[in-house]
Amino acid sequence: MSREIYLDNNATTQPTAEVMAAVANAMSSSFGNPSSSHRSGARARHVLRTSREAVAELIGASPDALFFTSGATEANNWVLQRLCMQPGARLITTEIEHSSIKSSSEMLENVGAAVFRLPTDKSGHIDLQQLADLLKAPVTLVSAQWVNNETGVIQPVEEIARLCRDRGVLFHTDASQAVGKLVVDAEKLGCDFLSFSAHKFHGPQGVGGLFVRQGVQLPPFVFGGGQEFGWRPGTENLPGIAGAGAAAATRRNSLTQTVCELAQLRDAFEQCLLRQIPDVYVNGERANRICNTTNLRFEGVDGEALVARLDQRGIRCSQSSACMNRRPEPSYVLRAMGLSESEAYASVRFSFSVLNSHEEAEVVVEILAEEVAKLRRFSMNFC
């Protein structure tokens, strides 16, 4: 098999050996229903408890403030639908949220909620003054992502949390692209809700969670038994949770070093690429960006064609988020930042993980230089 270089880590990350071992253990020697009173149940409960502790530590939460879900999509839907699903509810969010927030907020509008979507400037940041102005009227919930999945732009969530707290308004942040890539301290941040997903930091897919600040009420989204303190019923996804716990423990022990290494790798890739390939621009270059992500605009190139050609050469990357890739529209995130349709179509996202190397980054730049030149020649001949 030819070599594969995986640079689509904002879509999902490869589970590490520790994670796979933890999943296998939860499906073999620790199998059992955590609600059973016998010893198999006790072993499964032990896995559940230690995994909850590890994940809670990674997000800066007390273990009993963390509810495991099937991922960030469910956690986001839970908060938005349970708090804003009625006429008269007022939700403030942004124009650049992940589709799980975007689609939920559209559905809420259909049932009579008022939704205000904050625009961003060219760098991808929302305007805090505009948020402060909107908060002068009664608001049910503010939901703003911490890190954008397409551009890696980091929002000033501490400031957003402070503004919400000052007005007594509930604040939810989708931290799916932040957890494991920067220091997340949910308690200190002062948010009321924080969603995340384990497969963004080398955990398994189909597991994530929601932090809910102590004392804040959130009615259940699904009804059933007493699992997850009765807040999120259903037999726990023990293998997934065990994998999430292992991934969280590894990341917690190496976070500072990981962030530093990823930033060096991403920066080296960007610098090398910008030196070797003309007319390439970094979307959100001036913004505070997460350590592993670069979103690049290749002037005169069809991004979709570039992604396909790179795929043929063993390089995995994407044009926008994995959930939107199959749709023909240009990225709404890049459009919100002021890019034209053709500029958005010419953009490609590369996202690194600790499993990538500098050597891989160099190989990708070489291949990119060839493929971009070919596509530019082709489009000139075509014109």
Ligand X SMILES: Cc1ncc(COP(=O)(O)O)c(C=O)c1O
Interface residues with ligand X (CB under 6 A) are: 71-73, 98, 100, 145, 149, 174, 176-177, 197, 208, 321-323
Instruction: Say if residue 126 is exposed, middle or buried (CB neighbours under 10 Å; 0-12, 13-18, 19+).
Output: buried
Of the candidates 142, 115, 138, the one whose C-alpha atom is nearest the C-alpha of residue 128 is 142
Whether 323 is catalytic is yes
- Closest CB to ligand X among 200 and 309? 200
Q: Say which amino acid occupies 120.
A: T
Residue 148 CB-half CA count within 13 A: 32
Decide whether 30 or 353 has the Cβ nearer to ligand X.
353
Please give the residue whose beta carbon sits closest to ligand X in the complex.
71
Compare residues 182 and 268 and give the one whose CB is closer to ligand X. 182
First to last CA, the chain: 37
Residue 336: burial class (beta carbons within 10 Å; 0-12, 13-18, 19+): buried
Smallest separation (angstroms) from ligand X to the CB of 11: 6
Q: Which of 191, 291, 323, 383 is catalytic?
A: 323
What is the torsion angle, in degrees rounded to the nearest 10, for the CA atoms of residue 354, residue 357, residue 358 and residue 363?
A: -130
Q: How far is the CB of 73 from ligand X (least distance, A)?
A: 3
CB of residue 252 to ligand X, shortest distance in Å: 19
Amino acid at 1: M
Judged by beta carbon, residue 74 or residue 371, the one nearer ligand X is 74
Least distance to ligand X from the beta carbon of 123, Å? Answer: 18
**Given the DSSP bridges, would you call strands 5-6 and 315-316 parallel, antiparallel or unpaired?**
parallel
Residue where the block lists tokens 């896995």: 47
Question: Who's near 83: CB < 8 A, 6+ residues apart?
Answer: 89, 140, 141, 170, 218
Q: Which one, 174 or 371, has the nearer CB to ligand X?
A: 174
In angstroms, give the least distance from the CB of 226 to ligand X.
Answer: 24
Supply the minimum distance, in Å, between the C-beta of residue 69 and ligand X.
8
Q: Judged by CB, which is closer to ligand X: 6, or 272?
A: 6
Task: Rounding to the nearest 10 degrees, give the CA dihedral for residues 300, 302, 303, 304.
Answer: 180
State the catalytic residues.
323
